[in-house]
Amino acid sequence: MPKMTFIERNGNHKTVEAPLGLSVLEIAHRHDVDIEGACEGSLACSTCHVVVDAAWFAKLVKPTEDEEDMLDLAFDLQETSRLGCQLIMTDALDGLVVKLPAATRNAGG
């Protein structure tokens, strides 16, 4: 089973099983990781904003224009910011590391 690591707001690293085909948001919710996902993955908010470890960022599918528009609303946007609902687990992402931003901003959704 693939795994991924969440770096939580307090700096703790939480490595969890990450079933193929699930989004980072869904994986977070299965393992009680504190990501809101107010719009339940419908790409209508930025509350599942995560900062992808730089080593993994280039391995991701490019964001859609809709995702980029929502990311513009995210709190503490970084070069490697993505929405967790749009990152789908694949074999190539086994070991993925994402950091939770210090806060979220629910601007829509």
Other C-beta atoms lying within 10 Å of the C-beta of residue 84: 25
Non-local CB neighbours of 12 within 8 Å, separated by 6+ positions: none
pLDDT digit of tens for each residue in the chain (109 aa)? 999 999 999 999 999 999 999 999 999 999 999 999 999 999 999 999 999 999 999 999 999 999 999 999 998 899 999 999 999 999 999 999 999 998 765 544 3
pLDDT value at residue 53: 97
Predicted TM-score (pTM) above 0.75 = yes
Residues forming beta bridges with residue 81, ordered by sequence position: 51
Buried b / exposed e across 29-55, counting CB within 10 Å, b at 16+? beeebebbbebebebebbbbbbbbeee
Q: In whole angstroms, what is the distance from residue 72 CA to residue 102 CA? A: 16
